[in-house]
Amino acid sequence: MAIYKVPCGKNKKELEFELNEKNVIFNALPVEVDEIPDKDIVITEGFNNTIGTGKLEEIVQPNMKIVVIVDDITRPTPKKILLPEVLKRLEMANVPKDNIKIIIGLGTHRKMTEEEINKNIGKKNIEGYSLINIDYKDKDRFVNFGESKNGTPIEVYKEVLQADFKIAIGNIVPHIAAGWGGGAKMIQPAVCSEKTTEVTHLKACTIQNVLEVCGNADNKVRHEMEDIAGKVGLDFIVNTVLDENKNILGLFCGDYIKAHRKGIELAEKVMCPKIPEKADILITSAYPSDIDFWQGCKPYIYSQFGVKEGGVLIYVIEGEEGLCGNAPHHEKTLRKWSLVPFEKQLKAVENGEVEDIVGINVPLFHSKVRNRVKTICISSGLSVEDKQDLGFKHAESIDEAIDLAYELMGRDAKVGIIPYCGETLVRI
């Protein structure tokens, strides 16, 4: 017998459980690098060795109006470290503070609180700068900017469109709709209206199979997002690749497509560990995408790459903000539609029965994989009712879930573990 662990929650507490080693066929930890690089060196090299553009301080002009877009608390991007470096380089270019706006790219998530802004961005970092932290329902803040080549209406924060130069700070991880995070996602959906996001998210759920999109940058929705970002004018990205301890392994700056793709090359090496085969029983933690199931849907889908069809998934999620706390306006939709078959969901959308088109995207994704496996959920934040609304079985502990899984699959079942499934995409 051996002890195994999975992390859980914002404090990364470890849940321990015991398994017979003869059953365990993989423990898919992120790939370890030989040596954690010095973050200051990584940051300096990233900004000095740009990809597809010149150095930031050399391509901006003092008279430019500039926006710096950062992501919110659902993303682990080290904004506290990267934002000061961006602002320092703008200062080197003699851009006055009055010409710079910092925008939190919330998409359809709730606004960040002052406490969250201080913790994730840093109060001192934004002193003297204009900070934009708005509710996406505030329609007066968006400007119509035409359509993408595929007919998606483009509506963007007016402050973004008013800027002469647009910088986006993000992080590269697997993503269920865009293949990988980072890059153009900091324009769509980060600073676009609900109307724009409705179209791209619905396409993400319907025009390609989600299991073919995860970890694949060459997909239709990613290309649509990049078309929108190009039209809006995303001039410069700052994208990290992190390990499970949030160490910066690489920083990729410059062109929003070229630098992003270069970053993916490193991300694939770190976040796509190889497994010998899919498991009968898979134990995963949604960490670090475990604030609620709105985010936890991603690791739930990533889990499917490590478990056989008809198998059992033991799914650990902290869920401190419940089912949909970080995007509360979508909770009603999530509860109502998550157990409805995909075709019926789609028909309801086509018939105008669904008002919350952004909200239906998680049930659409969920319905594609929900019946593929039996899911047993362990969570301190999700209630038994929440789990039932997702079609999950309830268990109080991993040990209880493991016993139930063995009852379903037999004592000789092959077991796999993915401890950091929020940012891990296993490959055979």
DSSP 185-241: GGTTTTTB-HHHHHHHHHHHHHTS-HHHHTT-SSSHHHHHHHHHHHHHT--EEEEEE
Q: Which CATH class is domain 39-270?
A: alpha beta
Cα(333)–Cα(328) distance, integer angstroms:
10
Residue-range domain boundaries for the chain:
2-29+273-423, 39-270
Q: pLDDT by residue for the chain (428 residues), tens digit each?
A: 899 999 998 788 899 999 999 999 999 998 877 788 999 999 999 999 999 999 999 999 999 999 999 998 888 899 999 999 999 999 999 999 999 999 999 888 888 999 999 999 988 998 999 999 988 878 888 999 999 999 999 999 999 999 999 999 999 999 998 999 999 999 999 999 989 988 888 888 888 888 999 999 999 999 999 999 999 999 999 999 999 888 999 999 999 999 999 999 999 999 999 999 999 999 999 999 999 999 999 999 999 999 999 999 999 999 999 999 888 889 999 999 999 999 999 999 999 999 998 899 999 999 999 999 999 999 999 999 999 999 999 999 999 999 999 999 999 999 999 999 999 999 99
Residue whose pair of structure tokens reads 């849940």 in the numeric block:
15
Task: Identify the CA nearest to 391 among candidates 291, 299, 297.
Answer: 297
| CATH match for 2-29+273-423 among 1.10.260.40, 3.40.50.10600, 3.90.226.30, 3.50.50.60 | 3.90.226.30
Cα(65)–Cα(163) distance, integer angstroms:
5
